[in-house]
Amino acid sequence: MKGTQLGEFEELVLLIVGVLYPDAYGLSIREEIINQTKRKVAIGAVHSALSRLQDKGFLESKLDEATHERGGRRKRLFAITVLGKRALEKNHELRNNLFNQIPELALKGLNLSGL
């Protein structure tokens, strides 16, 4: 079903949530994405992906304490669920699997023609 598919950007966000655990929230995730991938993304885009991931059950979240630099607003901390972990593993496995199936010749040929 469509609902359990993991989009490319969603996968990225999901991974970063894992990397940042236990301190993953909207802004920190965005920072990390920018640092790790050099991709410029809007905060809104990250939130949008987070909300989709939560709808699909890959993420769970809770509200943290309010802090001064956020103008007294609480942040929402995200963590990967069992479902999310499974989805990541599935994707990872699929990729590795597929990558391993590529005959060496194909990559070699690429290299040659690339030269």
Partner 1 sequence: MDFKPTYQPPGLPRKILGLVCKPDLLEEIEGDLWEHYQILCEERPQWKAKLGYWFHTFHFLRPFAIKGIGQHSNSIIMYKSYFKFAMRHMWRQKMHTGFNLIGLILAFVVCTFIFLHLRSELSYDNFHDHSEDIYRVAWMNENPQTRTPHPMAQAMATDFPEVQAAVSLSPIYGPGLTRQTIQITNEENNIALEEPDGFFADSTFFDVFSFEFLEGNAKTALKEPNGIVMAKSMANRYFPDESPIGKRLSFGPNTNMLEVVGVVEDVPENAHFHFNFIISYVTLKSFNFNDPWMSWADFGHFNYIKVQHGSDVAALDNKIPEWILTYLDWTGGSRESLLDRSIGFELQPIESIHLHSNIRWELESNSSFTYLLIYGISGLFILLISIINFVNLTTARSAERLKEVGVKKTLGAYKSQLLGQFVFESLLSAYLALAISFGLVYLLELPFNELVTGRVHAQDLWQAKTLLFLISVATVTGLLAAIYPALYLNALNPGQILKGMNPKKLGGSFIRNGLLGIQFIAAIIMISGSLIIKNQITFLKNKDLGFRQDNLVIVDLEDFENKSELVKAAFSQFSGVSDVAAVSNVPGGQFNQHKIYLESDQTNQVDASEMFIDDDAARVLGLELASGRFLNQEFAQDSSGLSFLINEEAAQAFGVEDPIGAVMFWVDNENLVKGTIVGVVKNFHFKSLHVPIQPLIMMISPRNFNYIITNVNAQNLTATIPQMQASFTEIYPEDQFDYRFLDTEISELYHEESRTLKLTSVLTAISIFLSIAGLIGIVSIAIKQRVKEIGIRKILGASIRQILWLVNLRYLIVSGIAMLVAIPVSYIFMNQWLENFTYQQGINPMLFVISALLLAALILATISLISIKAVKSSPADALRHE
Does residue 26 belong to the site contacting partner 1 (CB under 8 A)?
yes
Whether the CB-CB separation of 30 and 43 falls below 8 Å is answered with: yes
Does residue 51 belong to the site contacting partner 1 (CB under 8 A)?
yes
Question: Minimum Å distance from CB 66 to partner 1?
Answer: 8
Does residue 60 belong to the site contacting partner 1 (CB under 8 A)?
no
Q: Which stretch binds partner 1 (CB under 8 A): 4-12, 15-23, 46-54, 102-110?
A: 46-54
| Cβ nearer to partner 1, comparing 38 with 68 | 68
Question: Minimum Å distance from CB 54 to partner 1?
Answer: 10
Burial of residue 13, with CB atoms counted within 10 A of its CB: 0-12 exposed, 13-18 middle, 19 or more buried: buried
Report the distance separating Cα 99 and Cα 93, nearest Å: 10
